[in-house]
């Protein structure tokens, strides 16, 4: 994989400082705001139906996250998403906990049916459920999927016409034709709440400045993963790791991506 393209894209995020409009959960929303700022982009959180359509017109990307969904919020997601589609603003959907309850699965499915989602990013269980595979989701954690994850992602991507990202020790990114594997990251990223949500925020910022959602997703996951690797180096535990994760994201340089991104084409 040409890391030059990846590091250039990262430099472009820093240069353009895109606004990333989030409609997201109240658990990790502060982390999403801060990782977006640390990356060099600008977050805005707005979910009132009266304003989401107007707000999204200023945004470079719209991130939808159903971590603490409710009926009103889904309506706002549909409103904002419709406007984003009209303006060709990329939408990143993080279907947190799809498979854990019918309400989550149905809401994620409804967003996929009624909006043109650009990038669907989730863990193996969430994507597996939405792709119709046998998957086991408990709470917001994935507990295993039956089948080849790459094939599940690839088939679903083709069928649904979007870029699919399955996060894990190795992240899978595919638009059905191309398959990229991202090896960056560190197990400590699983020791705190919010890394999945933050990965979606970072992906939104990259998608805002890129033409190609596959490259944008892989670059975002590599950048976030490298920050995680660096943060893990000196961490005494999960929360000092978290502090370092924001610091390292802010300190990250395009050169770090050029040298450190571990993206392969399958």
Nearest C-alpha neighbor of 122 from the set 80, 188, 60, 173: 173
How big is the chain by its Cα radius of gyration, in Å?
17
Q: Pick the piece of the chain touching a copy of itself (CB under 8 A) from 6-14, 19-27, 113-121, 156-164.
A: 19-27
How far is residue 108's CA from residue 12's CA, in Å, rounded to a whole number? 31
> Least Å distance between CB 63 and a copy of itself?
13
CA distance 212 to 220: 12
How many CB atoms are closer than 10 A to CB 102?
8
- Does position 28 interact with a copy of itself (CB under 8 A)? The reply is yes
Q: How far apart are CA 138 and CA 57, in angstroms?
A: 36
Question: CA 238 → CA 11, 200, 202, distances in Å?
Answer: 29, 20, 20
**Tokens linked to 29:** 């929303």
The stretch near a copy of itself (CB under 8 A) out of 67-75, 116-124, 125-133, 257-265 is 67-75
Q: Return the range that interacts with a copy of itself (CB under 8 A); candidates 99-107, 121-129, 146-154, 213-221.
A: 99-107
Query: Does residue 69 belong to the site contacting a copy of itself (CB under 8 A)?
Result: yes
Q: Residues 186-215 vs a copy of itself: string with x where CB under 8 A?
A: -----xxxx---------------------
Residue 116: CB minimum distance to a copy of itself, A? 23
* Residue that is written with structure tokens 């870029």 in the block: 163
- Using CB under 8 A as the binding rule, whether residue 266 contacts a copy of itself is answered as no
Where along the sequence are the contacts to a copy of itself (CB under 8 A)?
19, 21, 25-31, 33-34, 37-38, 42-48, 50-51, 54-55, 58-59, 67-71, 97, 100-104, 138-141, 191-194, 236-240, 242-248, 250-251
């Amino acid at each position: 994989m040409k890391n030059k393209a990846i590091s250039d894209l990262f430099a472009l995020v820093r240069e353009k400082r895109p606004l990333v409009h989030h409609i997201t959960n109240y658990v990790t929303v502060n982390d999403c705001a801060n990782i977006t700022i640390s990356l060099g982009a600008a977050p805005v959180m707005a979910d009132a139906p009266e304003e989401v359509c107007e707000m999204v017109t200023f945004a470079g990307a719209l991130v939808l996250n159903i971590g603490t969904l409710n009926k009103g919020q889904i309506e706002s997601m549909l409103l904002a998403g419709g406007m984003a589609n009209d303006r060709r603003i990329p939408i990143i959907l993080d279907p947190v906990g799809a498979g854990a309850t019918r309400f989550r699965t149905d809401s994620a499915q409804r967003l996929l049916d009624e909006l043109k989602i650009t990038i669907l990013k989730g863990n193996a269980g969430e994507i597996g459920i939405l792709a119709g595979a046998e998957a086991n989701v408990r709470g917001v954690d994935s507990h295993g999927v039956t089948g080849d994850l790459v094939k599940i992602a690839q088939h679903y991507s083709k069928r649904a016409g979007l870029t699919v990202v399955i996060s894990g020790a190795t992240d899978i990114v595919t638009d059905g034709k191309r398959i990229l594997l991202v090896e960056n990251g560190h197990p400590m990223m699983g020791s705190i709440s919010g890394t999945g949500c933050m990965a979606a925020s970072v992906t939104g910022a990259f998608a805002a400045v890129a033409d190609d959602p596959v490259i944008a997703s892989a670059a975002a996951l590599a950048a976030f993963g490298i920050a995680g690797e660096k943060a893990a180096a000196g961490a005494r535990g999960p929360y000092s790791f978290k502090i370092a994760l924001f610091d390292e994201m802010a300190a990250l340089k395009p050169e770090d991506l050029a040298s450190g991104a571990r993206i392969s084409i399958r």
